[in-house]
Amino acid sequence: MAVAISTLDTIRDKVVARERLDFEDGLALLESDDLLAVGELADLARRVRGGDDRVYFVQNLNLYQTNVCRVKCKFCAFAVTQKEQGAYTYTAEELVEDASRQRELTGFTEIHMVGGESPHVDFTYYVEIVRHLHEALPDVHLKLFTASEIHHMSKLASLSHEQVLRDLQAAGLGSLPGGGAEVFADRVRRLVAPGKEHPDEWFDVHRTAHGLGMPTQCTMLYGHVETYEERVDHWLRLRELQDETGGFLSFIPLAFHPENTVFERRGWTHTAGSDDLKMIAASRLLLDNVPHVKAYWIMMGLPLAQVALHFGADDVQGTVVREEIFHAAGASTETEQKIDELARVVRAAGRIPVQRDTLYNELRRWE
């Protein structure tokens, strides 16, 4: 029996017929040298599935509760030990004071906060952070803690993921960001994040959150030791959970930044812009059930993010204000953009800027 060979033409036929792409299609997209054709296919898929010219962003604030971490992922330039210079762990009061000051300046609607897995705090610390932030800023959506951090809390407190999430939700947690996914393949995780929990735990946290009515995001950290096959496997695993729960709001491909990591000493460099664009496009094409794909401007810079809007992305994330994780690893982008600047950039790319809240309700549209 002849084996069907996946080409951009066969993928186009599937997109138009709204058929699901498979593993071979994913490989064909990543292996293609025709970058513009891949981008055009992704934009077509986005439109065929109901997308229009709107591009979203949120007025948000990034916070980091601690940079102390026990895990030692090899790609991480952010984490330190408690004794290292520059180590910090903020109290709930300090975080509230900082966030309240920023709120007066910008009126952000979302706090995005992640941090290291510190062994020097207990679960109460996390619950108190959420409670204090929620009480001080009740109108602000709290998108806090990666699945890895939730798993860390479950270990600290000897509680199930569900109980941890229920306690945090009761304190005011609204949703989870998508970090900690890295690349799910066991081989990759052993090489770059041997101290991290098994991917099954990541999936269990997200499945449980979705079951509690808590939406989440999902990511892939690409551009290190993973193969194309492992990238496609990662997307298909996410797609499977989304079929089951429908709880992912968006997917964010994150390019690996090598500075200040062990990989810098091996002479590794940043991903090429062409790979970043191909990842946006292939993500949009394969993840047919995840509503939004983000071109995270902090990672790729605003000019490439503008191009990515024609490669299947429909979100540029947000104002951010402070970014520490990618900048510790060498990102040279700004750390803050004003809402009007994001709107200008989106409009200049030929799209309609829309300020959204965390759950994609429209707050303002620039026609």
Angle at 70 between CA 229 and CA 165, to 5 degrees: 75
DSSP annotation of 138 reads: T
Q: Which stretch binds ligand SF4 (CB under 6 A): 66-74, 167-175, 227-235, 288-296?
A: 66-74
Q: How far apart are CA 363 and CA 109, in angstroms?
A: 10
Residue 117 or 323: the one with the smaller Cβ distance to ligand SF4 is: 117
Which CB atom, from 71 or from 157, has the smaller least distance to ligand SF4?
Answer: 71
Per CB under 6 A, does 64 bind ligand SF4? no
Query: Could you tell me the smallest distance in angstroms from the CB atom of residue 235 to ligand SF4?
Result: 21
Residue 185 Cβ vs ligand SF4, minimum distance, rounded to whole Å: 17
- What are the CA-CA distances from residue 3 to residues 104, 229, 238, 243, 306 (Å)? 61, 18, 26, 27, 38
3-state SS class at 59: coil
Backbone angles phi, psi at 362, to 5 degrees: -75, 130
Say if CB 260 and CB 329 are below 8 A apart.
yes
Whole-number Å distance between alpha carbons of 79 and 329: 11
For the bound state, the minimum distance from the C-beta of residue 367 to ligand SF4, rounded and expressed in Å, comes to 41
**Could you say whether residue 73 binds ligand SF4 (CB under 6 A)?**
yes
CB 328 within 8 A of CB 68: no
Residue 35, phi then psi, degrees to nearest 5: -60, -45
CB of 259 to ligand SF4, least distance (A): 14
Q: By the 8 A CB rule, do 301 and 257 touch? A: no
Q: State which residue, 78 or 235, has the beta carbon closest to ligand SF4.
A: 78
Toward ligand SF4, which CB reaches closer, 49 or 190?
A: 190
Least CB distance from residue 156 to ligand SF4, whole Å? Answer: 14
Selected from 49, 72, 190, 338, the binder of ligand SF4 by CB under 6 A is: 72
**Phi and psi at residue 164, in whole multiples of 5°?**
-60, -50
69 in contact with ligand SF4 (CB under 6 A): yes
Examine residue 218 and tell whether it contacts ligand SF4 (CB under 6 A): no
Residue 8 sits in the site that holds ligand SF4 (CB under 6 A): no
Touching ligand SF4, residues 132-161 (CB under 6 A): 148
Q: Binders of ligand SF4 among 183-212, rule CB under 6 A?
A: none
Residue carrying structure tokens 């610390």:
125
- The answer to whether residue 262 forms part of the interface with ligand SF4 (CB under 6 A) is no
Q: Which range, of 26-34, 67-75, 256-264, 297-305, touches ligand SF4 by CB under 6 A?
A: 67-75
Strands lying side by side in the sheet with 110-114: 60-64, 110-114, 141-144
Applying CB under 6 A, the residues found at the interface with ligand SF4 are: 69, 71-73, 76, 78-79, 116-117, 148
